[in-house]
Structure 1
Amino acid sequence: MVLKSSDLAMRASHRQSYSMDLILHYLQETLSGIGPFVLLLGLLVFVHELGHFLVAKWCGVRVEVFSLGFGKKLLQYKHGDTTYCISMIPLGGYVKMFGDNFAAEVSEEEKSHSFIHKPVSQRIAVVLAGPLMNLFFAIFLFTAIGFIGDRQPAAVVGDIASTTQAYKDGFRPGDKILSVENKSVDGWTQLIDRISQSNEKELSFQVQRGNESIQISSRPEISKNENIFSSQEKVPQIEGLSFESNAALIGVPSPQSPAALAGLKNLDLILKVNEKDVSSFRSFKTAVIEGLKTGSEVQMEVQSFAEGKRGPKRTISLASSSTDFDALGIEFAETYVLKVKDPSPAHKAGLKSGDKIVSIDGKPVSNWTNILDSIKNFDPKSEGNISLLAMREGKNIPLQLVPEMTQLMNEKGQEENRFTIGILSSNLNVGPETVLYRPDGLLGKFSYGLSQTWKWTEFTVMSMVRLFQGVVSYKNIGGVITIGRVANHSYDAGLSVFLKTMAIISINLFLLNLLPVPVLDGGHLVFYGLEALKGSPVSMKKLEIAQQVGLMLLLLLMAFALFNDVSNLFSSQW
């Protein structure tokens, strides 16, 4: 195929416009997040350096500078021997101690205040204090969250397939799980913990279904742990038990159906039925049926979600003499195309947002998994293309597409190469209502702080392990821009979420600083540990070489993280 020069110009213009929009959006988001970013990172740096400072003073070391930030000093105040300052670049901090330069000469009378002349045990204590303060600060933050309350998914069952163990054992969508083995559960997290600790023992669940309380027995089965950041490869699970439900995003396949005639369209998002909020397709369906039982018409507040963008809200009146929901001509939009990438095989073939995929290569599709599998399993050697049948405004449209190999990042942070056609699914999910979890008593809140710190420390360690193993892509390493965006989003989400984000990053700093890399605290600990073992310090030449190598590695890592931040602007996720 030959493209005309006008086509090339239009495509180039589109790409440039798209790239510029992304850059402007990214810059706006980053700049608006400077406040939360400085607050989050500033506190973490302050706590870290405070650890070094306090233990150094306790050991009798003279501290010359305590700085938040690097570079030119913007504000400074001297008290005693120490200058306290805030510097221009808010990406870290430092504590400058007297006698920390191995090459400098120190007089006999000053050696009692010199860092390098302190016993190796005290130097280890000073260096270790920084990372440990980050760990203790995480415990403090999680304990504070225990007082404020932590929002967690409620222990309410979402949509479950009839072929799963959960359904066969008696669980139904909307069930509220009250207790496991007569022990109450406060949320979904606690429910899953109880199940994973069952050791395949049959469990008794007390469930509230409507106004009825029932007992369900289910035996968790040992199966593959989908959480790749867990140290356990297999855990007891109840297949199909999930809190996620299909969103109230609809498809209207027939233009002659009551729904279409009332004004409903493909990819409409239902917000309210008879002034009652709905979030899931299940709650929407129930509200419509109940509304038609009490009257012949229901009022809906809807908005278009075509192309993944929310349109203006509108009111729809749907009348029907029947309470048969299927007769209304409404279905969940799982097999409808939400968005089409340009350029892509789907765009080239003429597929559009709102089209329903009916079949691929003559095989009917009933869910998005069918569609993904058919495209992923495309064999270019034996198949020239795939035949896709789409439905648009009630008419079937046959299309021919040639999938292209694409490198994608999946939801687990793993890179995979697979065939795609450039479409996004309308298979959107929503979680249940959240519950405010607040542990009882001071001891309970402190215990919560300890358990959450342990949980996230284990998670971070396993993330590093999976990164080195190649299980998780190195593209997940983020830099200062990523931290800024995370800080901003968590700040907007509320105090509890912001504190949790700060605690998790504090744990990351605790572990990263313990890595045995020269210029990091962990590198210093290695040298002082060797000195303690052999009874003499490492030679000056070896230290200088190690420091240079360590600094180079650190700068390369920072540059790589920044590269990932920027490249994520333009990377395709679909």
Structure 2
Amino acid sequence: MSVLSSVFFSIGGFVSALIPFIVLLGVLIFIHELGHFMVARWCGVKVEVFSLGFGKKLLKWKRKDTLYCVSLFPLGGYVKMFGHEYGKEVAEKDRPIAFLHKKLWQRVAIVLAGPLMNFFLAVLIFAGLNIFVGEKRAFPVIGELAPSSVAAQSGLAYGDLILSIDDVPVKNIREVREIIFEKPDTLLDIKVQNLSQQVQTKKVLSQTGPATGKWGFLEKGGVIEGLTFFAAAAVLGVSDPNSPAGQAGLKTFDKVISVDGKKINTRKELFHILNSTPSSVSSWTLEIQREKDLKTIVLSRPQNDPEGEEAHHLGLIRSDLFIADLKTNGVAEKAGIKQGDFIFKLNGERLPSWSFLVEKIKNFKEQDGALEMEIKRQGQVKSFSLVPEIRKQMINGVEKKSYMLGIIAQSPLIPVGETYVEKSKNPVKALTFGVGKGLHWCAFLFVYIKKLVAGDISTKTLGGAITIGRAAYDSYSYGLEYFFRLMAILSVQLFLFNILPIPVFDGGHLLFYVIEFFNGAPLSIKKMIIAQQMGVLAVLFLLLFTTFNDLHNWLFTW
């Protein structure tokens, strides 16, 4: 009975995961084919079939001259128009309703209507999200800076709110990054308001380096070394189960929500409160989140504990020094390291942070021998000799090889500044925003294709139906806002993909019509058939290639 239950549960899980994918594709395909259908009818062309999907017809009904149907395979759809086949004779009396006997501008309008409907759909979704959900932004409050960084050496500090750069006001992190990116190797005047509410202007020299550009790709642009707007979230690490924190019931990876009723966001804020509490205070009341549960825990101060280092003496340390997960068959797992182990020494030195460990692994040299790692597990010290292995990983669309141990830390970073929502109640402004967002994604995709062709981005980033299916399920799981955003982005992709000059796609037909316009006559049927065959081969190759990528990424993701 348990086996049958497991089987039914697995089938049910698969079906529930498939539904968002079918809905997503169904809407995109329906809108696309609806564009062809409406303009064809408007131009007087007889539409014989309107189908969602290919293959066997699961549902069908006829209304007037058109057969409407839903077919077995949802990866596409089609509108079959009368007189669309090249080389097929059409009776004189039927020519007014035949596609190929329509004027050139009408044929162009019918073909272009499908892709344009996808773009219009994206615009409407982006506009709707802007009205009802908005765009989340964070105020540009500076995060934790390395003391030796250019940002820190220039006088910038944790908690500084950036007001302007070179007299240009800034409101959020994105605006700050865009201005700095456009000004490499420049001495910038950055006006900030510090935690004491004092307004000061700092002179900071930007450099040329890798930075996220306008279209979201890593490019050369202006950067300020060490500048960040993020800090570690108030996630706990408990060094010893017998410590005051452990005895109070706190566990590693608990997230602190508040201390004595005061809201806490970052680890720095948490440790500051604990370390600056007067010795007369004997305990703190912590509200914590453990997975999905909220708990209240009273943490008592040890007797005769010196002021200034309470967090350390309580047994609270950085959570990123604990192993949150292990890669299957990775070096660490094979050596016997376990989830929850506390890494406190590497090659005899105390480990200050996760980033320090990452750098050591990244710069590993085989001639230096194994890395000697000491961990604590339930208060017991264990030693391991680990030799990192080279693995491939995708970084900003580029496949790179690097040394890895196969350990994963949990050190979530959050913006230090409060977040706010930008939205518009004005429909005209929202539509303008939607058009801008649609054009932005068009430009992004053009840049992506350009980098793909140039070899700057790996072809392994191309995905097909499985990738779309996984994205559909994941976005739906996060919420309808994310699902609709994905739908809008894919709708823009469908728009661009269909206007590419590849025969069998709308763009291929448009290319034929451009040639017809300049030649004064259509291409020969023979040439069009050859072009169509080449187009089919190209599409089949792309389909096989993306399916291979999908399966590889799904089954062998490191």
Same fold by TM-score greater than 0.5: yes
Deviations 1:290-323 (A, max 9, x none): 776783211234466xxxxx49765532112665
In structure 2, the CA distance between the partners of 1:518 and 1:165, relative to structure 1 (3 Å rule), is same
Question: Superposed, which structure 2 residues align to 1:457-496 within 5 Å?
Answer: 457-496=442-481
Q: In structure 2, the residue corresponding to 1:353 is in which secondary structure?
A: coil
Is 1:430 aligned to 2:411, yes or no?
A: no
**Most deviating of 277-286 and 243-252:** 277-286
Question: Whole-Å Cα distance in 2 between the matches of residues 182 and 27 of structure 1?
Answer: 60
Q: Is the alpha carbon distance of 1:24 and 1:538 closer, same or farther for their aligned partners in structure 2, counting shifts above 3 Å?
A: farther
Q: Does 1:399 align with 2:384?
A: yes
Question: 2-side partners of 1:151 and 1:413: how far apart?
Answer: 25
Matches of residues 98-117 of structure 1 in structure 2 within 5 Å? 98-117=82-101
Pairing 1:551-562 to 2, within 5 Å after superposition: 551-562=536-547
User: Which deviates more from structure 2 when the two are superposed, residues 38-47 or residues 509-518?
Assistant: 38-47
CA contact (8 A) 1:171 1:216 kept: no
CA contact (8 A) 2:393 2:401 kept: yes
For residues 185-235 of structure 1, give each alpha carbon's deviation from its aligned partner in whole angstroms, at most 9, with x where no partner exists: 55433443454456747355454747x363444556253343375579333
**In structure 2, what is the equivalent of residue 92 of structure 1?**
76
Evaluate the alpha carbon distance shift between residue 508 and residue 516 of structure 1 in structure 2; reply closer, same or farther with a 3 A threshold. Answer: same
Greater shift after overlay, 124-133 or 441-450? Answer: 441-450
Distance 1:141 1:398, change over 3 A: same
Change in CA separation of 1:482 and 1:30 when aligned onto 2, cut-off 3 Å: farther
Q: Tell me, what secondary structure is at the counterpart of 1:106?
A: coil
The answer to whether the 8 A contact 1:69-1:90 is kept is: yes
Q: Give the equivalent residue in structure 1 for 2:65.
A: 81
Greater shift, 63-72 or 353-362, is seen at 353-362
Query: C-alpha deviations, 1:340-364, integer Å up to 9, x for none?
Result: 3343322333323233334444555
**Matched residue of 2:226: which SS?**
coil
1:509 corresponds in structure 2 to 494
> Is 1:162 the equivalent of 2:147?
yes
Corresponding position: 1:529 with 2:491: no
Deviation at 1:506, TM superposition (A): 0.9
Q: How many angstroms apart in 1 are the aligned matches of 2:318 and 2:170? A: 31
| Matching of residue 47 in structure 1 with residue 31 in structure 2 | yes
Which amino acid in the other structure matches residue 115 of structure 1?
A: F
Cα gap change, 1:557/1:151 in structure 2, threshold over 3 Å: closer, same or farther? same
SS state of the match for residue 554, structure 2? coil
Offset of 1:289 from its aligned partner? 5.1
In structure 2, the partner of 1:64 is 48
CA shift, 1:96, in A, is 1.0
Q: For the structure 1 residues 291 and 358, does the alpha-carbon distance in structure 2 shift closer, same or farther, using more than 3 Å as the test?
A: closer
Work out the CA distance in 1 between the residues paired with 2:77 and 2:254: 51
Query: Which residue does 2:3 correspond to in 1?
Result: none
Partner of 1:234: 220
Worse-superposed segment, 527-536 or 451-460? 527-536
274 and 488 in structure 1: CA distance in 2 versus 1, 3 angstrom threshold: farther
1:372 and 2:358 aligned = yes
Q: Distance in 2 between matches of 1:250 and 1:508?
A: 42
Label 1:468 to 1:364 Cα distance change in 2 as closer, same or farther (>3 A).
farther
Please give the alpha-carbon distance, in whole angstroms, between the structure 1 residues aligned to 2:280 and 2:516: 83
Is the 8 Å Cα contact of residues 517 and 523 (structure 1) preserved in structure 2? yes
Structure 1 pair 530–161 and aligned structure 2 pair: CA distance change class (3 A) = same
Q: Does 1:548 align with 2:548?
A: no
* Structure 2 equivalent of residue 316 of structure 1: 297
User: Which residue of structure 2 aligns with residue 142 of structure 1?
Assistant: 126
Task: Write the letter of the residue equivalent to 2:397.
Answer: G
Structure 1's 223 and 443: CA in aligned 2 closer, same or farther, altered over 3 A? farther
The structure 2 residue matched to 1:350, chosen from 336, 353, 359, is: 336
1:280 counterpart letter in structure 2: T
Is the CA contact (8 Å cut-off) linking 1:205 and 1:215 kept in structure 2?
yes
Structure 1 position 331 matched with structure 2 position 317: yes
Tell me if structure 1 keeps the 8 A contact 2:180–2:206.
Answer: no
Partner residue in 2 for 1:408 = 393
Q: Secondary structure at the match of 2:99?
A: coil
- Report if aligned partners of 2:39, 2:113 keep a CA contact under 8 Å in 1: yes
Looking at structure 2, the residues matched to 146 and 341 of structure 1 have their Cα atoms a distance apart, in angstroms, of 39
Q: In 2 relative to 1, CA 506–107 (structure 1 residues): closer, same or farther, beyond 3 Å?
A: same
Residue identity in the other structure for 2:256: I
- Asked if the contact 2:188–2:206 (Cα under 8 Å) also holds between the matched residues in 1, the reply is no
- Residues 231, 121 of structure 1: CA spacing in aligned structure 2 closer, same or farther, 3 A cutoff? farther
SS in 2 for 1:233: strand
Equivalent in the alignment of 2:327: 341
| Compared CA separation, residues 194 and 448, structure 1 to 2 (3 A) | farther
1:499 to 461, 475, 484: 484
Residue of structure 2 aligned with 1:133, choices 117, 131, 134: 117
Name the aligned partner's letter for residue 347 of structure 1: E
Q: Deviations over 1:309-338 (max 9, x none)?
A: x49765532112665334433221223322
SS at match of 2:86: coil
C-alpha separation in 1, matches of 2:265 and 2:88: 68
Cα offset, 1:134, TM superposition: 1.7
Deviates more, 1:176-185 or 1:351-360: 176-185
Matching of residues 248-287 of structure 1 within 5 Å? 248-253=234-239, 257-274=243-260, 278-287=264-273
* 2:402 matches 1:418: yes
What's the % identity of the aligned pairs? 37
Which letter does structure 2 place at the counterpart of 1:161? Answer: A
| Change in 2 beyond 3 A, CA 1:487/1:347 | closer
CA contact (8 A) 2:211 2:221 kept: no
1:31: which partner in 2? 15
* Counterpart Cα distance in 1 of 2:482 and 2:294: 30
State TM-score, norm by structure 1: 0.83
Distance 1:464 1:31, change over 3 A: farther
CA RMSD of aligned residues (A): 3.4
Query: How many Å separate the matches in 2 of 1:383 and 1:295?
Result: 50
| Displacement after TM superposition at 1:101 (Å) | 0.7
Match in the other structure for 1:13: none
TM-score between the two structures when normalised by the length of structure 2:
0.85
Q: Distance in 1 between matches of 2:464 and 2:432?
A: 32
- SS of 1:72's equivalent? strand
Contact 1:66–1:84 under 8 Å retained in 2? yes
Alpha-carbon distance, 1:104 to partner = 1.7
Counterpart CA distance in 1 for 2:168 and 2:466 is: 44
Letter in 2 for 1:529: V
Between 1:530-539 and 1:41-50, the stretch displaced more is 530-539
The answer for unaligned runs of 5 or more in structure 2 is: 1-5
Change in Cα spacing, 1:111 to 1:523, as seen in structure 2 (3 Å) is same
Is the partner of 1:60 in helix, strand or coil?
A: coil
Contact in 2 for aligned 1:180/1:206 (Cα 8 Å):
no
Residue of structure 2 in register with 1:307 after alignment: none
Match of 1:295 among 259, 281, 295: 281
Matches within 5 A, 1:151-230: 151-155=135-139, 156-177=141-162, 185=170, 187-196=172-181, 200=186, 202-205=188-191, 207=193, 209=195, 212=197, 214-217=199-202, 219=204, 221-227=206-212, 230=216
Secondary structure of 2:113's counterpart equals helix
Instruction: Tell me the amino acid that sits aligned with residue 128 of structure 2.
Output: A
